[in-house]
Structure 1
Amino acid sequence: MLVTPRVSAMAQQVPIKGLGRFEGWRDNALIGYGLVTGLAGSGDTRRSAVTRQALRNVLSRLGTTVTDEQISSRNVAVVLVTAVLPASANIGDRIDVTVSSVGDARSLAGGTLIMTPLLGPDQQTYALAQGPLVVGGYNFESELNQQQRNYPTTAILQAGATIEASVDAAILNNDGQLSFLLDDPSFTTAQRIADRISARFGLGVASVKNADEVQIRFAGNAAGLAPFMSALENMTIQPDATPRVVINERTGTVVAGGDVTISSVVIAQGDIKVTITADKIASQPSFISGFASDVRSLVVTNTTLEVDQGSEDVAFRFPSSTIADLVQGLSQARVDTRRTISILQAMKTAGALHADIIVK
Structure 2
Amino acid sequence: MTMKFRAFLLVCLSCASLSAFAVTDGVRIKDLGRLSGWRENPLVGYGLVTGLAGTGDSAGNKTTRQSISNMLKQFGVNLPPEDVLSRNTAAVIVKASLPAYAQPGDTIDVTVTSLGDARSLVGGSLLLAPLKGPNDRVYVLAQGDLAVGGYSYDMNGSVVQKNHPTVGTIPGGGVVEVGVGVKVVNERQKLTFVLADPDFTTASRIAAAINQSMGRTVAAPRDAAAVEIDAPAEGGARLVDFVARLERLTVHPDNRARVVINERTGTVVSGGDVQISKVSISHGEMKVSIVTDNSVSQPTFVSDTGRGVRTEVVSNSRIDVAESDNRQIDSTGNTVADLVQSLTRIKTNTRDIISILRAVKAAGALHADLVVQ
Which range, TM-score by smaller chain?
Answer: 0.7 to 0.9
Partner SS state of residue 262, structure 1:
coil
Task: Specify the alignment match of 2:256 in structure 1.
Answer: 242
- Determine if contact 1:36/1:111 at 8 Å carries over to the other structure: yes
Determine whether 1:332 maps to 2:356: no
- Determine if contact 2:68/2:81 at 8 Å carries over to the other structure: no
Determine whether 1:226 maps to 2:240: yes
Identify unmatched segments of 5+ residues in structure 2: 1-6, 292-316
Match of 2:16 among 2, 6, 29: 6
**Offset at 1:196?**
1.3
What's the CA shift string for 1:127-183, capped at 9, x where partnerless? 111011011111111011111111101011111111111112110011110000001
- Over aligned residues, Cα RMSD in angstroms? 2.3
Task: Specify the alignment match of 2:306 in structure 1.
Answer: none
Change in CA separation of 1:315 and 1:46 when aligned onto 2, cut-off 3 Å: farther
What's the CA shift string for 1:261-299, capped at 9, x where partnerless? 11122223345678999xxxxxxxxxxxxxxxxxxxxxx
- Mapped partners of 2:190, 2:131: distance in 1: 33
Identify unmatched segments of 5+ residues in structure 1: 278-303
Task: Specify the alignment match of 2:283 in structure 1.
Answer: 269
Determine whether 1:20 maps to 2:33: yes
Structure 1 counterpart of 2:241, one-letter code? P
Structure 2 counterpart of 1:42, one-letter code? T
**Offset at 1:258?**
1.3
Match of 1:260 among 260, 274, 285: 274
- Determine if contact 2:286/2:324 at 8 Å carries over to the other structure: no
Of 155-164 and 56-65, deviating more is 56-65
Task: Specify the alignment match of 1:285 in structure 2.
Answer: none
Match of 1:44 among 40, 53, 57: 57
Partner SS state of residue 148, structure 1:
strand
Quote the sequence identity (%): 46
Structure 1 counterpart of 2:250, one-letter code? T
How many residue pairs end up in the alignment? 334
Task: Specify the alignment match of 1:190 in structure 2.
Answer: 203
Match of 1:150 among 139, 163, 176: 163
What's the CA shift string for 1:201-247, capped at 9, x where partnerless? 24331111100100001132123100001001111111114211122
Task: Specify the alignment match of 1:61 in structure 2.
Answer: 74
- Mapped partners of 2:282, 2:31: distance in 1: 42
- Mapped partners of 1:305, 1:38: distance in 2: 65
Match of 1:96 among 109, 128, 137: 109
Structure 1 counterpart of 2:113, one-letter code? S
**Offset at 1:310?**
6.9
Aligned pairs (5 A) from 1:287-302: none
Change in CA separation of 1:43 and 1:16 when aligned onto 2, cut-off 3 Å: same
TM norm structure 2: 0.84
What's the CA shift string for 1:24-69, capped at 9, x where partnerless? 0111111111111111111111221111111111111222111122
Higher helix share: 2
- Determine if contact 1:8/1:241 at 8 Å carries over to the other structure: no
TM norm structure 1: 0.87
Of 66-75 and 18-27, deviating more is 66-75
